[in-house]
Chains A and B, each alone.
Chain A
Amino acid sequence: MAGRCLQLASLFFFFFLFFSGALTFPLGQETEKSPTCGYESCHATKQDMLNVHLVPHTHDDVGWLKTVDQYFYGDRNDIQHAGVQYILDSVVDQLLKNPDRRFIYVETAFFYRWWRQQSSGMQQTVRQLVDEGRLEFVNGGWCMSDEATTHYSAVIDQMTMGLRFLNDTFGRCGRPRVAWHIDPFGHAREHASMFAQMGYDGFFFGRLDYQDRSLRMQKREQELLWRASESLTPPMADLFTGILPNGYNPPPGFCWDQSCDDPPIRDDPDLEDYNVDDVVKRFVAIANSQSLVYKTNHIIMTMGSDFQYENANLWYKNLDKLIRYVNAQQANGGKVNVLYSTPSCYLQELHRANSTWALKTDDFFPYADAAHDFWTGYFTSRPALKRYERVSNSNLQTCNQLEVLGGPGSRKGPFGRGTARP
């Protein structure tokens, strides 16, 4: 992003002389060579084939069965085996081993915790991965917000906080292009409207009503254009929306995390249980079947799940092989092309398809995953916490305002040091 001056209505020279040095926002990190992140860093695809975008990812709840910090450290693994610091350590290590590999990271609350503990050398290494599009941030808010019980004011704030950290740390290459709400239990129209106004090119999620999904599969309308406001002039609140094929999990039989039991690719013909032919056959069948319920010759597969990639070698070693062996079939007339990808690279291909998309103007509530399983209890669950969250937002807004109105003495004054920030 090139530098620019703010629009000045008055006092131009005063401003220029004294404040131009502070014009770093939102330039962020300057890099020496021109980075090739974002859409430019996507792997090539093949026009006459079915392109399967493998998206290695981890879904890291900012608190659920364990607290956010227990999840970060990998504490209390007796409750749930999950440690985000190890995930990021391991993924960075594995990305460095093969430049083709890709990974996306979502929850800035965790990434921020990890980043602060890295050496400057490691930070430089990670910056390079980001600049080359090998590590890509998607969504990028402090957390992946709930959509049914949140108020827009707090959602905008938490998104701003996460995206600002990414911008300050990585500059242009840290800006997520895609909103990614793979787990929330139903989807609010106002969230889509906000994402559109935050500049996202598209949105992906995993959960919707089972009847809705089944009809959309038949009609190949799992990818759609969501017109998320009745008031804002289109396309201001239009958001391309994609429904992921397996929630956010890998297709059955292809989970290679340490927490999974699927067979690894056994590719040495001299050893027992050689299974490459079987794996390729199963994969091609799944890919072809998935392509029947999507519109273009590109499909996406989410290769990961809750707190996966703690030992990323397992995943990447098998994914490297999967790509190699499936694509090797192309020499024999195979029509499936597998590649490491990210949601934004996949989105770019859908955009290039220059197709038209079903228009949706309502929302995705309520969510049911079976006939008697309506996820409508959490609209009310823990009513005291829900109120306390709302009161806390009011207090925070007051705090933010008074920091501005009271000047620097608000942060350090007669009552000590105060802050509106975490």
Chain B
Amino acid sequence: MAVAQHHDAVSGTEKQHVANDYARRLANGWQRCQVLVSNSLAALSGSTAERIYCDNLNISVCPLTEASKKFSVNVYNPLARPVSYPVRLPVNGTSYEVTDAKGKPVDCQVLAVSASTREVRRSRGSALRELLFQVEAPPLGFTTYSVSLLQDGPPPASPRPRAPTAIQNQFLRVTFDPDTGLLSSLSNLETKQSIKLTQNFYWYNASDGNNTHSDQPSGAYIFRPNSSTPFIVSSTAKTESIQGAVVQEVRQVFSPWVSQVVRLHADSRELELEWTVGPVPIGDDLGKEVITRIDTSIKTSEYFYTDSNGREVLQRRKDFRPTWNLRQSEPIAGNYYPINSRAFIKDEEDQLTVVTDRSQGGGSLHNGSLEIMLHRRLLYDDVRGVAEPLNEISDIFPEGLVVRGRLLLSLQRPPCAADAHRPLAQQVVLQPLLSFTDGELHPDTQLEFSGLQAALPLPVHLLTLTQWDEASLLLRLEHQFQSGESRVNAEPVTVNLQKMFSTLKLLGVSELSLSANQWRDEMKRFDWTPQSGERPLLKEFQDRSVWEVTLRPMEIRTFLLRVR
């Protein structure tokens, strides 16, 4: 993970063989971690039954669940608050019973694997169907669900052709244009707000460098469309829909290389857009930079907002820089900004926040619009040293990489929007880990565990909990709200470290700098005076006691805990 943070690693600006090396290192690290996770879960659950991990659930591949008649699913939640999480498993049966840790049956739904999933998984799996159910996992802990195949269950309903005019749950209503199959509006039923919203896929034609203004082509580093008007992949989508107790989804196919599932889970306050893009065709000798664009009725007045490394949000304005008079020379590329975990557009009434599952570039080039670049396939090197065009292929995808991801859309009133998008983004970053055990679990198995005595208050995010040495742990607690972005959550909050963990006996605590290489109270930095205003004096806030620590908005505090 550490080398992957390098500015030619996760940035995507390395040669292909080096990108492969990073991916291999990540995979090797995860292999060693799996042993640790299995050992730990064995210690905590009392079961030493073999544990299987399925890393390809996003393409519906998991040999155990595909073949097994009875298995259990352990859901570990790394967040310090309980989460509700949709589990989606590849299966071949038609009907299943799912029970929670208390033996209570939970709603589940079986649906056919979509054509686009079959296309992207290729020969890596063969499940016919997917089993869906919603799990509730405790904070910093796990719960266990049991899944049994029912012999005489009814076959799942086939998808219905075309999109319905609307899908909705108790929180959200989404409508579709019957003529195009595209989204047409989004409403939050709790807050009684509604916006027009259409969304589609486009591609910019990447500059090949032959241009009167400049010979700069688009490449791994540089984005340079040769026209500001993107090509539409298709103005209509071929659609089908599935409606059930756990999820309602509308599957949209835009072209052989672009598809999407619009997904509304039963108890969800956000709309999921699962996009699948690739292999990006290059038979026309045109490099392509594929975007999705969401056009809404929100009056954005040329502003939009992006997060910085997943934390504080910065305001962006079209063709504008806060500290100098910009001479804009690239109307699209010069308005793109990094999005690490969220971007939003808003006016007085409405805020639409898009939470991403990875870092992406994006911009807001028209009133009410937000676009996010999803995939790039380029034919020329951009002359910054890497000396390769960004043209990703692999053994599984020799004709070009297929990429799948999710955008989560949250529509809220601006003063309350952070109350939704802050926890939502953390939930995407620290997702539950599923592990599977075949057959019946031993009756003595501990099915539920939480490492916390109680969930932490919503503003507090447990950022780090890791073994430091034999006798001590490193703990980072974070206030995940910015000051002013929430009426209820952007206030100082106090937690008691000694009352935090359920199994750890804390003997002592010391506070460290953020990087844990200095005691906090020995950290002395040079002081500097700004041209405008006073030289600020470091303000020391006193905690109520050694154990009762107060976090202020956006503060991260790092502790070394001595434990027994």
CB neighbours of A361 from chain B (8 A): 322
B549 to chain A, nearest CB (A): 12
Return the contact of A6 from the options B308, B321, B451, B562 (Cβ within 8 A): B562
The interface residues of chain B lying within 8 Å CB-to-CB of A147 are 7, 309
Pairwise interchain contact B528-A235, C-beta atoms closer than 8 A: yes
**11 sample A-B contacts, Cβ–Cβ < 8 Å, listed by A number:** A4-B519, A65-B14, A67-B17, A150-B309, A232-B552, A374-B330, A378-B12, A383-B376, A383-B403, A385-B19, A386-B358
B464, A211: Cβ atoms closer than 8 Å? no
- Pair B33/A399 contact, Cβ less than 8 Å: yes
B157 interface residue (CB < 8 Å to A): no
Whether A85 sits at the interface, judged by CB under 8 Å, is no
In residues 446-502 of chain B, which contact A (Cβ within 8 Å)? 449, 451, 463-474, 476, 482-484, 498
A191 to chain B: closest CB distance in Å?
6
New A-B contacts (4) at CB < 8 Å, excluding given A143-B5, A376-B336, A377-B333 = A143-B3, A154-B4, A394-B429, A406-B43
Contact with B along A152-192 (1 / 0, CB 8 A): 11111111111110110000000100000101111011110
In the assembled complex, the Cα of A210 lies from the Cα of B40 at a distance in Å of 52
User: Which residues from 38 to 52 on chain B have a C-beta closer than 8 Å to any C-beta of chain A?
Assistant: 38-44, 48, 51
A269 contacts partner chain B, Cβ-Cβ < 8 Å: no
Stretch at the interface among B20-28, B182-190, B240-248: B20-28
Contact with B along A5-32 (1 / 0, CB 8 A): 0111111001100010010011000000
Determine whether the beta carbon of A19 is less than 8 Å from that of B507. Answer: yes
Asked if B360 is at the interface (CB within 8 A of a chain A CB), the reply is yes
Contact of B483 among A8, A202, A230, A413 (CB under 8 A): A230
Total interface residues on B, using CB and 8 Å? 158
The residue in chain A whose Cβ has the minimal distance to the Cβ of B308 is A190
A257 at the interface (CB under 8 A from B): no
Chain A nearest CB: distance from B392 CB in Å?
7
At the interface, yes or no: A371 with Cβ under 8 Å from chain B? yes
B554 A231 Cβ-Cβ under 8 A: yes
Given contacts A198-B515, A395-B30, A231 and B224 within 8 Å (CB-CB): no
Q: How many residues of A contact B (CB 8 A)?
A: 150
- The answer to whether the Cβ of B443 comes within 8 Å of any Cβ in the partner chain is no
Q: Which residues from A are CB-within-8-Å of B555? A: 231-232
Q: Which of B517-564 contact A (CB under 8 A)?
A: 517-519, 522-523, 525-533, 536-539, 545-547, 552-556, 560, 562
Chain A residue, CB-CB nearest to B340: A151
> Which residue in chain B gives the minimum CB-CB distance to A28?
B517
Name the segment of B166-174, B250-258, B379-387 touching the other chain: B379-387
Q: Of B218, B221, B311, B467, which one neighbours A403 at CB under 8 angstroms?
A: B467
Cβ B385 vs Cβ A420 within 8 A = no
**B516 partner residues in chain A, CB cutoff 8 A:** 26, 160, 163-164
| Minimum Cβ distance to chain B for residue A146 (Å) | 4
Chain B residue nearest to A235 (CB atoms) is: B536
Residues of chain B with a CB closer than 8 A to A225's CB? 528-530
Q: Which residues from chain A contact B554 at a C-beta distance below 8 Å?
A: 229, 231-232
Instruction: Decide if B10 touches A6 in the complex (CB within 8 Å).
Output: no
Q: Are A398 and B358 in contact (CB under 8 A)?
A: no
A150 in contact with B336 (CB, 8 Å)? no
By a CB distance below 8 angstroms, the chain B residues around A391 are 431
Q: Is the CB of A8 within 8 A of B385?
A: no
Contacts of A377 in B (CB 8 A): 218-224, 289, 333, 361, 376, 382, 390
Q: Is the CB of B5 within 8 A of A158?
A: yes
A119 within 8 A of B: no
Q: Which of B4, B141, B336, B464 has the most CB of A within 10 A?
A: B4
Q: Which of B6, B26, B324 has the most CB of A within 10 A?
A: B6
- Give the distance in Å from the alpha carbon of A282 to the alpha carbon of B373 in the complex: 47
- Which among A234, A358, A389 is the interface contact of B531 at CB below 8 angstroms? A358
Cβ-neighbour of A380 out of B26, B375, B392, B538 (below 8 A): B375
Contact of A149 among B14, B289, B338, B385 (CB under 8 A): B338
| Contacting residues, chain A, for B531 (C-beta < 8 A) | 356-359
Whether B106 sits at the interface, judged by CB under 8 Å, is no
Complex contact A385–B23 (CB within 8 A) = yes
Mask, A124-157, CB within 8 Å of B = 1, is 0000000000000000011111111111111111
A-B interface, 6 closest residue pairs, ranked by CB to CB distance from nearest: A406-B40, A418-B36, A379-B361, A413-B39, A381-B12, A418-B35
